[in-house]
Protein backbone atom coordinates (compact mmCIF):
# COMPACT_ATOMS: atom_id res chain seq x y z
CA UNK A 1 0.00 0.00 0.00
CA UNK A 2 1.36 3.41 -0.91
CA UNK A 3 1.64 5.76 2.04
CA UNK A 4 0.09 9.17 1.34
CA UNK A 5 2.19 12.22 1.86
CA UNK A 6 1.11 13.93 5.08
CA UNK A 7 1.76 17.64 4.95
CA UNK A 8 2.34 19.14 8.37
CA UNK A 9 3.39 22.76 8.76
CA UNK A 10 6.33 23.69 10.92
CA UNK A 11 4.41 26.27 12.90
CA UNK A 12 0.86 26.21 14.23
CA UNK A 13 -0.46 29.72 13.75
CA UNK A 14 -0.20 31.51 11.39
CA UNK A 15 0.14 28.55 9.11
CA UNK A 16 0.02 30.11 5.67
CA UNK A 17 2.38 27.36 4.78
CA UNK A 18 -0.32 24.67 4.75
CA UNK A 19 -2.58 26.51 2.32
CA UNK A 20 0.33 27.35 0.05
CA UNK A 21 1.28 23.69 -0.06
CA UNK A 22 -2.31 22.62 -0.64
CA UNK A 23 -2.75 25.13 -3.49
CA UNK A 24 0.52 23.99 -5.07
CA UNK A 25 -0.56 20.35 -4.76
CA UNK A 26 -3.95 21.06 -6.35
CA UNK A 27 -2.38 23.05 -9.18
CA UNK A 28 -0.09 20.23 -10.17
CA UNK A 29 -2.89 17.62 -10.02
CA UNK A 30 -5.13 17.76 -13.09
CA UNK A 31 -8.63 17.03 -11.76
CA UNK A 32 -11.81 17.68 -13.78
CA UNK A 33 -13.66 18.99 -10.72
CA UNK A 34 -13.46 19.33 -6.96
CA UNK A 35 -16.15 18.35 -4.47
CA UNK A 36 -15.78 19.33 -0.84
CA UNK A 37 -17.54 17.18 1.77
CA UNK A 38 -18.09 18.94 5.09
CA UNK A 39 -20.55 18.97 7.98
CA UNK A 40 -22.53 22.05 8.99
CA UNK A 41 -19.90 23.06 11.58
CA UNK A 42 -16.89 22.74 9.32
CA UNK A 43 -18.84 24.45 6.53
CA UNK A 44 -19.38 27.39 8.81
CA UNK A 45 -15.96 27.56 10.46
CA UNK A 46 -13.44 26.02 8.07
CA UNK A 47 -14.81 26.22 4.52
CA UNK A 48 -14.71 30.05 4.23
CA UNK A 49 -11.03 30.06 5.25
CA UNK A 50 -10.23 27.27 2.81
CA UNK A 51 -12.00 28.95 -0.12
CA UNK A 52 -10.37 32.27 0.67
CA UNK A 53 -6.90 30.74 0.82
CA UNK A 54 -7.19 28.29 -2.10
CA UNK A 55 -8.74 30.22 -4.98
CA UNK A 56 -8.34 27.20 -7.25
CA UNK A 57 -11.34 25.73 -5.39
CA UNK A 58 -13.66 28.64 -6.18
CA UNK A 59 -15.89 26.62 -8.55
CA UNK A 60 -16.04 23.52 -6.37
CA UNK A 61 -19.22 21.66 -5.47
CA UNK A 62 -20.07 21.43 -1.78
CA UNK A 63 -21.81 18.55 -0.05
CA UNK A 64 -22.87 19.23 3.53
CA UNK A 65 -23.96 16.61 6.05
CA UNK A 66 -25.32 17.17 9.57
CA UNK A 67 -22.60 16.82 12.23
CA UNK A 68 -22.08 13.87 14.55
CA UNK A 69 -21.54 10.13 14.63
CA UNK A 70 -25.26 9.45 14.11
CA UNK A 71 -24.74 10.55 10.51
CA UNK A 72 -21.87 8.19 9.74
CA UNK A 73 -24.24 5.65 8.23
CA UNK A 74 -24.72 3.63 5.06
CA UNK A 75 -27.82 5.74 4.30
CA UNK A 76 -25.77 8.93 4.50
CA UNK A 77 -23.08 7.37 2.28
CA UNK A 78 -25.74 6.72 -0.38
CA UNK A 79 -26.95 10.33 -0.07
CA UNK A 80 -23.39 11.58 -0.54
CA UNK A 81 -22.99 9.36 -3.63
CA UNK A 82 -26.28 10.72 -5.01
CA UNK A 83 -25.00 14.25 -4.44
CA UNK A 84 -21.78 13.33 -6.28
CA UNK A 85 -23.87 12.11 -9.21
CA UNK A 86 -25.88 15.33 -9.18
CA UNK A 87 -22.64 17.31 -9.18
CA UNK A 88 -21.60 15.18 -12.18
CA UNK A 89 -18.39 14.13 -10.48
CA UNK A 90 -16.53 11.79 -12.82
CA UNK A 91 -13.66 9.39 -12.16
CA UNK A 92 -11.17 12.23 -12.65
CA UNK A 93 -12.73 14.36 -9.93
CA UNK A 94 -11.21 14.95 -6.52
CA UNK A 95 -13.18 14.63 -3.29
CA UNK A 96 -11.89 16.82 -0.47
CA UNK A 97 -12.97 15.74 3.01
CA UNK A 98 -13.03 18.79 5.26
CA UNK A 99 -13.95 17.79 8.78
CA UNK A 100 -13.46 15.63 11.81
CA UNK A 101 -13.24 11.85 11.84
CA UNK A 102 -16.89 11.46 10.85
CA UNK A 103 -16.35 13.38 7.60
CA UNK A 104 -12.99 11.74 6.83
CA UNK A 105 -14.32 8.19 7.51
CA UNK A 106 -17.54 8.76 5.54
CA UNK A 107 -15.93 10.78 2.75
CA UNK A 108 -13.10 8.30 2.32
CA UNK A 109 -15.65 5.48 2.15
CA UNK A 110 -17.79 7.27 -0.48
CA UNK A 111 -14.71 8.12 -2.55
CA UNK A 112 -13.59 4.48 -2.46
CA UNK A 113 -16.94 3.13 -3.75
CA UNK A 114 -18.25 5.94 -6.01
CA UNK A 115 -17.70 4.87 -9.63
CA UNK A 116 -15.44 2.12 -8.18
CA UNK A 117 -13.15 4.68 -6.65
CA UNK A 118 -12.11 8.29 -7.18
CA UNK A 119 -9.19 10.23 -5.76
CA UNK A 120 -9.63 11.94 -2.40
CA UNK A 121 -7.69 13.97 0.10
CA UNK A 122 -8.32 14.68 3.77
CA UNK A 123 -8.23 18.11 5.38
CA UNK A 124 -8.78 17.07 9.01
CA UNK A 125 -10.27 19.81 11.21
CA UNK A 126 -10.44 18.15 14.65
CA UNK A 127 -7.53 17.04 16.83
CA UNK A 128 -8.79 13.48 16.63
CA UNK A 129 -8.92 13.50 12.84
CA UNK A 130 -5.48 15.14 12.56
CA UNK A 131 -3.77 12.84 15.05
CA UNK A 132 -5.50 9.62 14.07
CA UNK A 133 -8.58 9.25 11.85
CA UNK A 134 -7.17 10.84 8.67
CA UNK A 135 -4.11 8.59 8.79
CA UNK A 136 -3.96 4.94 7.75
CA UNK A 137 -6.54 4.50 4.99
CA UNK A 138 -9.39 3.02 7.02
CA UNK A 139 -12.78 4.34 5.88
CA UNK A 140 -16.21 3.30 6.97
CA UNK A 141 -19.72 3.80 8.24
CA UNK A 142 -21.77 2.37 11.11
CA UNK A 143 -24.65 -0.08 10.82
CA UNK A 144 -27.36 -0.43 13.48
CA UNK A 145 -25.21 1.47 15.96
CA UNK A 146 -22.31 -0.96 15.47
CA UNK A 147 -19.17 1.01 14.66
CA UNK A 148 -17.47 0.88 11.26
CA UNK A 149 -19.09 -2.38 10.18
CA UNK A 150 -19.10 -1.39 6.52
CA UNK A 151 -15.83 -0.04 5.24
CA UNK A 152 -12.83 -0.13 2.99
CA UNK A 153 -9.10 0.22 3.14
CA UNK A 154 -8.36 3.01 0.68
CA UNK A 155 -5.62 5.57 1.11
CA UNK A 156 -6.15 9.28 0.48
CA UNK A 157 -3.89 10.83 -2.15
CA UNK A 158 -2.71 13.29 0.48
CA UNK A 159 -3.50 14.55 3.97
CA UNK A 160 -3.01 18.24 4.76
CA UNK A 161 -2.86 19.09 8.45
CA UNK A 162 -3.84 22.73 9.00
CA UNK A 163 -3.67 23.41 12.75
CA UNK A 164 -5.33 26.83 12.29
CA UNK A 165 -8.62 24.98 11.82
CA UNK A 166 -8.43 24.02 15.50
CA UNK A 167 -9.11 27.62 16.58
CA UNK A 168 -12.87 27.02 16.36
CA UNK A 169 -12.91 23.45 17.67
CA UNK A 170 -14.87 23.21 20.97
CA UNK A 171 -12.75 22.49 24.07
CA UNK A 172 -14.51 19.18 24.67
CA UNK A 173 -13.44 18.04 21.20
CA UNK A 174 -9.82 18.96 21.96
CA UNK A 175 -9.96 16.54 24.90
CA UNK A 176 -11.55 13.89 22.71
CA UNK A 177 -8.61 14.13 20.33
CA UNK A 178 -6.13 14.07 23.18
CA UNK A 179 -7.47 10.59 24.06
CA UNK A 180 -6.14 9.16 20.79
CA UNK A 181 -2.76 10.85 21.35
CA UNK A 182 -2.56 9.22 24.80
CA UNK A 183 -3.43 5.91 23.12
CA UNK A 184 -0.55 6.29 20.65
CA UNK A 185 1.77 6.95 23.60
CA UNK A 186 0.54 3.99 25.64
CA UNK A 187 0.87 1.47 22.84
CA UNK A 188 4.12 2.64 21.29
CA UNK A 189 6.00 5.51 22.92
CA UNK A 190 6.82 5.77 26.63
CA UNK A 191 8.59 9.11 26.06
CA UNK A 192 5.47 10.64 24.54
CA UNK A 193 3.54 9.38 27.58
CA UNK A 194 5.99 11.18 29.89
CA UNK A 195 5.76 14.35 27.79
CA UNK A 196 1.94 14.28 27.83
CA UNK A 197 1.95 13.76 31.61
CA UNK A 198 4.14 16.82 32.02
CA UNK A 199 2.20 19.08 29.68
CA UNK A 200 -1.36 17.76 29.68
CA UNK A 201 -1.90 19.96 26.65
CA UNK A 202 -2.24 19.51 22.95
CA UNK A 203 0.72 20.87 21.09
CA UNK A 204 1.29 20.49 17.39
CA UNK A 205 4.36 18.39 18.14
CA UNK A 206 2.16 15.86 19.99
CA UNK A 207 -0.18 15.66 17.01
CA UNK A 208 2.85 15.20 14.80
CA UNK A 209 4.24 12.47 17.07
CA UNK A 210 0.93 10.64 17.05
CA UNK A 211 0.82 10.79 13.23
CA UNK A 212 4.37 9.45 13.02
CA UNK A 213 3.60 6.56 15.38
CA UNK A 214 0.52 5.59 13.37
CA UNK A 215 2.27 5.98 9.99
CA UNK A 216 5.10 3.70 11.09
CA UNK A 217 2.77 0.98 12.35
CA UNK A 218 0.45 1.19 9.30
CA UNK A 219 3.36 1.10 6.86
CA UNK A 220 4.38 -2.33 8.15
CA UNK A 221 0.86 -3.74 8.39
CA UNK A 222 -1.53 -1.74 6.16
CA UNK A 223 -4.42 -4.23 6.29
CA UNK A 224 -4.27 -4.96 10.01
CA UNK A 225 -3.30 -8.59 9.84
CA UNK A 226 -0.90 -8.22 12.75
CA UNK A 227 0.74 -5.41 14.67
CA UNK A 228 -1.61 -2.67 13.45
CA UNK A 229 -4.14 -4.21 15.85
CA UNK A 230 -2.33 -2.49 18.75
CA UNK A 231 -3.94 0.76 17.58
CA UNK A 232 -7.24 -0.74 18.69
CA UNK A 233 -6.18 -0.53 22.35
CA UNK A 234 -9.13 0.92 24.28
CA UNK A 235 -11.41 0.57 21.26
CA UNK A 236 -13.06 -2.82 21.95
CA UNK A 237 -14.72 -1.27 24.99
CA UNK A 238 -15.03 2.18 23.36
CA UNK A 239 -17.06 0.99 20.38
CA UNK A 240 -19.35 -1.02 22.65
CA UNK A 241 -19.91 2.03 24.88
CA UNK A 242 -20.70 4.27 21.91
CA UNK A 243 -23.19 1.72 20.55
CA UNK A 244 -24.79 1.09 23.94
CA UNK A 245 -25.25 4.82 24.53
CA UNK A 246 -26.83 5.35 21.10
CA UNK A 247 -29.18 2.43 21.72
CA UNK A 248 -30.29 4.18 24.91
CA UNK A 249 -30.94 7.42 23.02
CA UNK A 250 -27.84 9.08 24.49
CA UNK A 251 -24.43 9.68 23.03
CA UNK A 252 -20.84 9.30 24.14
CA UNK A 253 -18.26 10.92 21.86
CA UNK A 254 -15.58 8.68 20.34
CA UNK A 255 -12.85 10.40 22.36
CA UNK A 256 -14.73 10.00 25.66
CA UNK A 257 -15.42 6.36 24.86
CA UNK A 258 -11.74 5.75 24.04
CA UNK A 259 -10.73 7.36 27.36
CA UNK A 260 -13.06 5.02 29.28
CA UNK A 261 -12.04 2.08 27.08
CA UNK A 262 -8.35 2.61 27.79
CA UNK A 263 -8.95 2.73 31.55
CA UNK A 264 -10.95 -0.51 31.50
CA UNK A 265 -8.60 -2.32 29.15
CA UNK A 266 -5.64 -1.22 31.30
CA UNK A 267 -7.40 -2.88 34.23
CA UNK A 268 -7.78 -6.08 32.19
CA UNK A 269 -4.06 -5.91 31.37
CA UNK A 270 -3.39 -5.70 35.12
CA UNK A 271 -5.74 -8.63 35.83
CA UNK A 272 -3.72 -10.67 33.36
CA UNK A 273 -0.49 -9.53 35.08
CA UNK A 274 0.79 -7.77 31.95
CA UNK A 275 1.35 -4.58 33.97
CA UNK A 276 2.03 -3.80 37.62
CA UNK A 277 -0.43 -2.32 40.09
CA UNK A 278 1.73 0.83 40.08
CA UNK A 279 1.37 1.19 36.30
CA UNK A 280 -2.40 0.61 36.56
CA UNK A 281 -2.63 3.38 39.13
CA UNK A 282 -0.45 5.78 37.14
CA UNK A 283 -2.38 5.24 33.90
CA UNK A 284 -5.85 5.34 35.47
CA UNK A 285 -5.12 8.54 37.41
CA UNK A 286 -3.47 10.28 34.47
CA UNK A 287 -6.29 9.50 32.05
CA UNK A 288 -9.06 10.45 34.48
CA UNK A 289 -7.38 13.80 35.16
CA UNK A 290 -6.41 14.63 31.58
CA UNK A 291 -9.41 13.44 29.60
CA UNK A 292 -13.17 13.79 29.47
CA UNK A 293 -14.51 10.50 30.86
CA UNK A 294 -18.15 9.47 30.57
CA UNK A 295 -20.57 8.30 33.25
CA UNK A 296 -21.61 4.77 32.24
CA UNK A 297 -23.35 3.72 35.45
CA UNK A 298 -26.75 3.66 33.72
CA UNK A 299 -25.62 0.88 31.35
CA UNK A 300 -25.50 -2.73 32.52
CA UNK A 301 -22.39 -4.80 31.81
CA UNK A 302 -24.57 -7.17 29.74
CA UNK A 303 -25.52 -4.32 27.36
CA UNK A 304 -21.86 -3.47 26.83
CA UNK A 305 -20.81 -7.11 26.41
CA UNK A 306 -23.63 -7.74 23.90
CA UNK A 307 -22.26 -4.99 21.67
CA UNK A 308 -18.81 -6.54 21.84
CA UNK A 309 -20.13 -9.72 20.25
CA UNK A 310 -20.08 -7.85 16.93
CA UNK A 311 -16.62 -6.33 17.29
CA UNK A 312 -14.58 -6.75 14.10
CA UNK A 313 -11.59 -7.98 16.10
CA UNK A 314 -13.43 -11.06 17.44
CA UNK A 315 -12.73 -14.58 16.22
CA UNK A 316 -15.19 -17.47 16.44
CA UNK A 317 -17.14 -16.00 19.35
CA UNK A 318 -14.03 -15.10 21.37
CA UNK A 319 -13.48 -11.46 22.35
CA UNK A 320 -9.99 -10.50 21.19
CA UNK A 321 -8.38 -7.36 22.62
CA UNK A 322 -5.19 -5.37 22.15
CA UNK A 323 -3.73 -4.98 25.64
CA UNK A 324 -0.75 -2.98 26.84
CA UNK A 325 2.06 -4.93 28.48
CA UNK A 326 3.93 -1.88 29.72
CA UNK A 327 3.78 1.88 29.12
CA UNK A 328 4.66 2.26 25.45
CA UNK A 329 4.24 -1.41 24.60
CA UNK A 330 1.24 -3.41 23.48
CA UNK A 331 0.25 -6.92 22.43
CA UNK A 332 -2.83 -8.10 20.51
CA UNK A 333 -5.24 -10.98 19.83
CA UNK A 334 -5.66 -11.58 23.56
CA UNK A 335 -8.79 -13.48 24.59
CA UNK A 336 -10.73 -11.59 27.25
CA UNK A 337 -13.46 -13.22 29.37
CA UNK A 338 -16.77 -11.71 30.44
CA UNK A 339 -15.68 -11.91 34.06
CA UNK A 340 -12.49 -9.89 33.35
CA UNK A 341 -14.59 -7.33 31.53
CA UNK A 342 -17.10 -7.13 34.37
CA UNK A 343 -14.30 -6.48 36.86
CA UNK A 344 -12.89 -3.74 34.65
CA UNK A 345 -16.29 -2.02 34.46
CA UNK A 346 -16.54 -2.13 38.27
CA UNK A 347 -13.02 -0.70 38.55
CA UNK A 348 -13.91 2.14 36.17
CA UNK A 349 -17.09 3.03 38.05
CA UNK A 350 -15.36 2.92 41.44
CA UNK A 351 -12.55 5.11 40.17
CA UNK A 352 -14.92 7.86 39.14
CA UNK A 353 -17.36 7.56 42.08
CA UNK A 354 -20.25 9.19 40.21
N1 LIG B 1 -10.35 5.80 10.27
C2 LIG B 1 -9.67 5.75 11.39
O3 LIG B 1 -8.55 5.21 11.45
C4 LIG B 1 -10.25 6.36 12.64
C5 LIG B 1 -9.46 6.48 13.80
C6 LIG B 1 -10.02 7.09 14.92
C7 LIG B 1 -11.32 7.55 14.89
N8 LIG B 1 -12.06 7.40 13.74
C9 LIG B 1 -13.44 7.90 13.68
O10 LIG B 1 -13.44 9.30 13.90
C11 LIG B 1 -14.73 9.69 14.37
C12 LIG B 1 -14.58 10.70 15.47
O13 LIG B 1 -13.91 11.84 14.96
P14 LIG B 1 -14.10 13.29 15.62
O15 LIG B 1 -13.91 13.18 17.07
O16 LIG B 1 -13.29 14.23 14.85
O17 LIG B 1 -15.67 13.53 15.45
P18 LIG B 1 -16.51 14.51 14.51
O19 LIG B 1 -16.11 14.42 13.11
O20 LIG B 1 -17.95 14.23 14.84
O21 LIG B 1 -16.11 15.97 15.03
C22 LIG B 1 -16.46 16.34 16.35
C23 LIG B 1 -17.32 17.63 16.36
O24 LIG B 1 -16.45 18.73 16.08
C25 LIG B 1 -16.97 19.49 14.99
N26 LIG B 1 -15.80 20.08 14.34
C27 LIG B 1 -14.82 19.42 13.68
N28 LIG B 1 -13.86 20.29 13.33
C29 LIG B 1 -14.25 21.52 13.75
C30 LIG B 1 -13.66 22.82 13.72
N31 LIG B 1 -12.45 23.01 13.21
N32 LIG B 1 -14.36 23.84 14.25
C33 LIG B 1 -15.57 23.63 14.84
N34 LIG B 1 -16.17 22.44 14.94
C35 LIG B 1 -15.51 21.39 14.40
C36 LIG B 1 -17.76 18.51 14.17
O37 LIG B 1 -18.73 19.17 13.39
C38 LIG B 1 -18.39 17.66 15.27
O39 LIG B 1 -19.52 18.31 15.78
C40 LIG B 1 -15.45 8.42 14.79
O41 LIG B 1 -16.43 8.11 13.84
C42 LIG B 1 -14.35 7.36 14.76
O43 LIG B 1 -14.84 6.08 14.45
C44 LIG B 1 -11.55 6.83 12.63
* C-beta 124 within 6 A of ligand 1: no
Q: How many angstroms does the Cα of residue 104 sit away from the middle of ligand 1?
A: 8
Task: List the Cα angle 57/58/64 in 5-degree steps.
Answer: 75
Ligand 1 centroid distance, CA of 100 (Å): 3
6-46 pLDDT, tens digit per residue, is 665 444 333 557 888 899 999 998 899 999 999 999 999 99
**CA dihedral (302, 305, 309, 311) positive or negative:** positive
Each residue's pLDDT tens digit, 177-205:
999 999 999 999 999 999 999 886 777 88
The residue ranking higher by pLDDT, 314 or 248, is 248
Q: In 3-state terms, what secondary structure has residue 111? A: helix
pLDDT number for residue 185? 98
In this structure, what DSSP letter does residue 91 have? T
Q: Residue 308 half-sphere exposure, CB side, CA atoms within 13 Å?
A: 25
Q: Is 69 left (phi over 0), alpha (psi -120 to 50) or beta?
A: alpha
pLDDT (tens digit, 9 = 90+) per residue, 338-347? Answer: 999 999 999 9
Q: Is 64 in the pocket of ligand 1 (CB under 6 A)?
A: no
* The ligand 1 atom nearest the CA atom of 166: 31
- 205 in Cβ contact with 5 (< 8 Å): no
Q: In 10 A of CB 75, how many CB atoms?
A: 10
Dihedral of CA 15/17/19/22: which sign?
Answer: negative
**Are the C-beta atoms of residues 252 and 289 closer than 8 Å to each other?**
no
What is the mean predicted confidence (pLDDT) over 70-87?
A: 97
Amino acid sequence: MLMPQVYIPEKVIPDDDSFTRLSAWLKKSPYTSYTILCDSNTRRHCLPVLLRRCVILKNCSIIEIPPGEANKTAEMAMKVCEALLLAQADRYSLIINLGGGVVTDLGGFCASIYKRGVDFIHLPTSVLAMADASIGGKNGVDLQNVRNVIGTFSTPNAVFVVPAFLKTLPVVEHKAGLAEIYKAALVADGNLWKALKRQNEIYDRNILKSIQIKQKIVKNDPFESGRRKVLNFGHSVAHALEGTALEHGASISHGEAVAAGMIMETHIAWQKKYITAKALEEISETLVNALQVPDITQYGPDDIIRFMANDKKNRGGEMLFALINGIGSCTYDIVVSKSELNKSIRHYNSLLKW
